[in-house]
Chain A
Amino acid sequence: MLLPSRVTGEGLPWIASAFYRNAEAIQVFVVVESDMPRFLPVPTVELPLDQCVLFATSVVRELGPVQSLDFLRVPDVFCRCMNLSQGLLDIFEGGAREALGDPLLGIFTLDIPGGIDPDPNRDALFGAIIAAALMGRMFEPVYDPASQTPFTVYNASPDNEKRLRQAGLHFFASGEKVGFHTDGSIDEKTVSVPEYIGLYNLLINYQKPGNLYWLPFSLWEEFDAYAERFGWAVPYRIELTPAVYSNADETIIFATRSVQAPIFSRSNERQAIVFFNGRILGRERFNGQDIDQLVAEMGQSISLNPVRYCIPQRQRRLVFARNTCGFHARDMLEKPYHGCKYTRSFIRAVSASGAQVGLC
């Protein structure tokens, strides 16, 4: 497949200029690597600090002193925070929607500056509130039933990893590379691929946090070949990574879920949907061999694709991605700071909109 001219070397200025049109505070990260694959820049906007301070002041004035993120559990409070974020949204929404709607791109990044509040805890808190509010403005998020918040908080720590290991559960440690996948969503009955996801890094206690990678389906050269090999709308048994929650008093383990879903399918609008997630079980459709080899080959094909988007993982960085049009992956996080209780904390929100691909 020939690459569209917009993403060849000549195309990079096009991407940059397109986003300059939509926001003043734009930054484009140009990534130059000698080895394949070639890294493409992700359009990024840094929110102005004064606007973030104005938002924080408005939240306190309208809702009273804010102690922690759990106040967003109340739907009316979350709604009011979203309304107060209008000024911030206006800064980047045009460029973000253009990026997310572009099948050759599908990703957009927002940096939330530090210094909103002189107190480090409140500074981190207001950054997370802004991220949650803006995710709620960009898409309607699903409420997490365990935390009852419109997002899920993920905390990695040596202690948590020890508890997961003792429970014999598979998990992705922060110091482990996470390969290309699409995010999924399940409820009691259905398996879906959310249309949008938002990922916000609240805390990264690593000296080398590495990068987040993104490959739109439209740029994956072997998309058609692997769709044929797995088959369109051919269901496979997939074992999902179990969710494990914790609070001060207890650890709640969701049972390991096994679902039936096709890897490649089409939405009602005939858009290609890929559910590449969890551990795919069973046998290949054509030759009856264990599916593991084919899954590994597909992961390698995505990894070896000549181009991909790349954005460094950083604290206070919010990534929006259109999950129904691409795969994402991340580097392992290296060189942790010792003596910290937590090694990483991030917030993920997924959209209620998306494509249903199977039944539980």
Chain B
Amino acid sequence: MYIAFPESELEVSLLSNEIACIDLDAVIGDIDACMQSPECTDHTNPPSEN
């Protein structure tokens, strides 16, 4: 057990610098990603409008 809060900015910075190397588009592939995060997930069939 350890006290892990708050995380130091240095610690977060190191983590983020590692992850910033990620090509997120490549990781996700051709999945349609949601551009925002509504609190209610819509499971109706998607419309085809652009």
Q: Which of B6, B29, B32 contacts A245 (CB 8 A)?
A: B32
| Cβ contact within 8 Å between B32 and A242 | no
Q: Report the stretch among A90-98, A219-227, A247-255 that lies at the interface.
A: A247-255
Given A29-B5, A315-B19, A341-B24; A247-B50 close (CB under 8 Å): no
Interface status of A216 (Cβ within 8 A of chain B): no
Q: Does A54 sit at the interface, judged by CB under 8 A?
A: no
Provide the main secondary structure of the chain B interface. Answer: loop
Residues in chain A near residue B25, CB distance under 8 A = 341
Contact check, B16 vs A184: say whether CB atoms are below 8 A apart.
Answer: no
Contact status A208-B12, CB under 8 Å:
yes
- In the complex where A28-B1, A124-B19, A203-B24 touch, is A146 in contact with B39 (Cβ < 8 A)? no
Count of B residues near A, CB < 8 Å?
45
Identify the closest chain B residue to A120 (Cβ). B21
Cβ–Cβ contact B5 & A241, under 8 A? no
- Give Cα distance in the complex from A252 to B46, angstroms: 8
Q: Which residues of B contact A248 (CB under 8 A)?
A: 30
Enumerate chain A residues within 8 angstroms of B42, measured Cβ to Cβ: 186, 240, 243, 254, 257
CA distance A73 to B28 in the complex (A): 11
Q: For A242, list chain B residues within 8 Å (CB).
A: 38
A144 within 8 A of B: yes
Contact B46 A254 (CB under 8 A): yes
A314 touching B2 in the complex, CB below 8 Å, given contacts A153-B34, A254-B42 = no
**Cβ contacts A169-209/B at 8 Å (1 or 0 each):** 10111000010011111111001001000000011111111
Is the pair B1, A27 in contact by a Cβ cutoff of 8 Å? yes
Among B15, B21, B22, which residue has the most Cβ atoms of chain A within 10 A?
B22
A27–chain B nearest beta-carbon distance, Å:
6
* CB-based contact B32/A68 at 8 Å: no
A254 to B38, CA, bound (A): 11
Number of interface residues of A (CB under 8 A): 91
- Asked if A241 and B43 make an inter-chain contact with CB atoms under 8 angstroms apart, the answer reads no
A31 at the interface (CB under 8 A from B): yes
* A314–B7 CB distance below 8 A: yes
**CB-CB contacts below 8 Å: B1-50 with A:** 1-7, 9, 12-13, 15-16, 18-50
Assess the A68–B28 pair: CB atoms within 8 A.
yes
B36 touches A253 (CB 8 A): no
Bound state CA distance, A32 and B35, in angstroms?
Answer: 35
Interface centre among B12, B33, B40, B48 (most CB of A within 10 A): B40
User: Can you list 10 A-B pairs with a CB-CB distance of less than 8 A?
Assistant: A67-B26, A121-B22, A154-B34, A154-B36, A185-B41, A186-B42, A186-B44, A204-B19, A245-B32, A255-B47
The 10 A-B residue pairs with the shortest CB-CB distance, nearest first, are: A68-B29, A70-B29, A241-B38, A184-B40, A171-B36, A160-B35, A153-B33, A120-B21, A245-B32, A155-B33
